[in-house]
């Protein structure tokens, strides 16, 4: 492979001649233009060597690609995509001859915002709607988010939204692609700035959004409201991320989809047994305390817990109600009560 032949230049060609030849070959062989992709890559490799004085001298001396011979970490065009080739050598082309492989600015998106929403266990059990108030960057009403009038392609990046910058250091040249600081990546500029937003295209505004809370949503879960975050000029708004915080309940503790509580019973109830009623989210529930129940006994009522929420936000099941029975020991006995317990002790 002779790099001079690939580009169609002589061995004494100047840097400008090599650059012009590469531009011509790259456009000729670009796949989007019906060309040969392998020849497109070969042209890029040839330009990578011949455009660098030190690599060109080494190539002229040894007759091979110094990157390949030394096993170094050079460009080696055959191992890179065409996006990489354009990113490295985009300054050679100036305009936009490569269609899909150009540095067109992608659609920009504003910053996401986060808010916390506190919910009671009753809210989570029933499902509810809540209104959240927050501040965001909204599209300027005066210019509809454009920042002004007389829009044109950014002169700093030729409308690409990015700049290809090469820095020369004692260790070699460093090339990188950066967001254009003139248009902030939009690829557009306005010559007549909006007086309301000073050309930014956004204004701070207090927003109120109503959120539908699905039944069974969990503590720490995040709801994503698309398009309710910060707006950005010549782009789209980010998202509002609503983080769910579950407030403690005075009676029930949540264990995934189960509701757990403790219920005190008397010594007599534990010994003799009794039916009691327990207030729950489902209304009064009857519990049967069997004779001889020990303290710490666990009772479970199936299907009386919290709804189980699926990945699609729909209910896919229901948890259980779990009750721990505690025998309540009286501490202050009157004379009659003491007499009763003493008789029981004597009986034992």
The reply to whether 214 falls in a domain is yes
Q: At what angle do helices 15-29 and 82-93 cross, to 10 degrees?
A: 130
* pLDDT at residue 179, as a whole number: 78
Domains in the chain: how many in total? Answer: 3
Instruction: Indicate yes or no: pTM above 0.75.
Output: no
Claim to verify: residue 138 and residue 96 sit in the same structural domain:
no
- Reported as a single tens digit per residue, the pLDDT across 112-131 is 999 999 999 999 999 999 99
- Reported as a single tens digit per residue, the pLDDT across 189-241 is 888 888 888 888 899 999 999 999 999 999 999 999 999 999 988 788 999 99
* pLDDT at residue 263, as a whole number: 95
- Reported as a single tens digit per residue, the pLDDT across 20-30 is 898 888 888 87
- Asked if the model's pLDDT at residue 133 lies above 80, the reply is yes
Claim to verify: residue 159 and residue 261 sit in the same structural domain:
no
Domain closes at, from 46, 79, 101: 101
* pLDDT at residue 304, as a whole number: 95
The reply to whether 108 falls in a domain is no
Claim to verify: residue 46 and residue 154 sit in the same structural domain:
no
Determine the structural domain holding residue 324 and report its residue range: 253-347
Q: Which CATH number goes with the domain that contains 320?
A: 2.60.260.20
**From the CB of residue 4, how many other CB atoms can be counted at a distance below 10 Å?**
18
Identify the three-state secondary structure at position 293: coil
Give mean pLDDT, residues 281-290: 94
Task: Report how far residue 318's alpha carbon sits from residue 296's, in angstroms, rounded to the nearest whole number.
Answer: 25
- Reported as a single tens digit per residue, the pLDDT across 63-80 is 766 555 444 433 444 444
Instruction: Label each residue of 38-104 as H, E or C.
Output: HHHHHHHHHHHHHCCHHHHHHHHHHCCCHHHHHCCCCCCHHHCCHHHHHHHHHHHHCCCCCHHHCCC
E strand or H helix at 260, and its extent? strand 258-266
Give mean pLDDT, residues 295-313: 90
Task: Report how far residue 106's alpha carbon sits from residue 188's, in angstroms, rounded to the nearest whole number.
Answer: 12
Claim to verify: residue 303 and residue 336 sit in the same structural domain:
yes
Domain closes at, from 246, 273, 294: 246
- Cβ–Cβ < 8 Å for 197, 146: no
* pLDDT at residue 78, as a whole number: 43
Claim to verify: residue 231 and residue 289 sit in the same structural domain:
no
Domain closes at, from 230, 246, 262: 246
Claim to verify: residue 240 and residue 277 sit in the same structural domain:
no
Give 320 or 85, the one with higher predicted confidence. 320
């Amino acid at each position: 492979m002779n790099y001079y032949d690939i580009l169609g230049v002589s061995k004494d060609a100047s840097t400008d001649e090599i650059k012009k030849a590469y531009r011509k070959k790259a456009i000729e062989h670009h796949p989007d233009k019906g060309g040969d992709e392998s020849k497109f890559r070969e042209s890029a490799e040839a330009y990578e060597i011949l455009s660098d004085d030190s690599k060109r001298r080494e190539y002229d001396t040894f007759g091979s690609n110094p990157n390949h011979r030394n096993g170094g970490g050079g460009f080696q065009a055959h191992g890179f995509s065409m996006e990489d080739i354009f990113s490295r050598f985009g300054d050679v082309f100036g305009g936009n001859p490569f269609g899909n492989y150009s540095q067109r600015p992608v659609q920009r998106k504003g910053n996401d915002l986060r808010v916390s929403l506190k919910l009671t266990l009753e809210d989570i059990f029933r499902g509810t709607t809540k209104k959240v108030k927050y501040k965001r960057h909204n599209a300027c009403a005066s210019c509809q988010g454009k920042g002004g009038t007389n829009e044109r392609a950014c002169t700093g990046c030729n409308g690409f939204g990015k700049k290809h910058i090469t820095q020369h250091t004692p260790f070699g040249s460093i090339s990188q692609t950066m967001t254009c600081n003139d248009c902030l990546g939009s690829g557009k500029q306005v010559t007549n700035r909006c007086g309301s937003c000073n050309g930014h295209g956004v204004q701070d505004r207090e927003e109120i959004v109503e959120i539908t809370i699905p039944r069974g949503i969990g503590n720490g879960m995040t709801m994503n409201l698309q398009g309710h975050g910060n707006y950005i000029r010549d782009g789209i708004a980010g998202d509002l991320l609503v983080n769910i915080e579950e407030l403690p309940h005075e009676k029930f503790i949540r264990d995934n989809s189960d509701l757990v509580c403790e219920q005190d019973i008397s010594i007599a109830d534990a010994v003799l047994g009794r039916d009691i009623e327990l207030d729950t989210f489902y209304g009064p529930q009857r519990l049967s305390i069997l004779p001889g129940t020990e303290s710490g006994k666990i009772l479970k009522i199936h299907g009386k817990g919290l709804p189980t929420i699926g990945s699609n936000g729909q209910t896919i099941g229901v948890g259980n109600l779990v009750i721990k029975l505690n025998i309540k020991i009286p501490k202050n006995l009157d004379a009659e009560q003491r007499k009763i317990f003493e008789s029981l002790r004597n009986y034992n």
